[in-house]
Amino acid sequence: MLEELANGHLHDKINKRNGKFSVNEIKTLMVGLMRGIKELHDNNIMHRDIKPENIMMRDDLDPVIVDFGLAADVTWDDYLFYRCGTPGYVAPEVCTLDKGVKISSVCDIFSLGVIFHIFLTSRPLFAGRKFD
């Protein structure tokens, strides 16, 4: 299995190509990611940290979701981590989450949308600030 994932992270692929992908490549990557997210959600799991660094590539266009350190079962009454995820990819409802408030697996769909935006525009969804 580890040999199959020897093609690096999606993040590396985006950087290597300067974010430029053909429409067919974007379609193939997004369908693969959506299938992965659907499998998680069908099993009541929300990843909560979908980002290019947490997507390994099995081959050129076959993504695999990894790093389940912040994942949670949607049926849990309490989450181990309340506000979690990576700035720029985390869903707004997770950022404003108060202890005891339930969120749903839809938060992963927002993160997937951010990745889709990067594929289409070669730019992050939110402009960051650089501190010197």
Nearest Cα to Cα of residue 26 among 117, 119, 122: 119
Active-site residue, 77 included: no
The residue written with tokens 């992270």 in the block is 9
- Residue 100 tokens read as 């005891």
Task: Please count the CA atoms within 13 angstroms of the CA of 49 that sit on its side-chain side.
Answer: 15
Choosing from 12, 42, 49, 62, which is the catalytic residue? 49
The SS3 call for residue 103 is coil
- Catalytic residues, by residue number, are 49
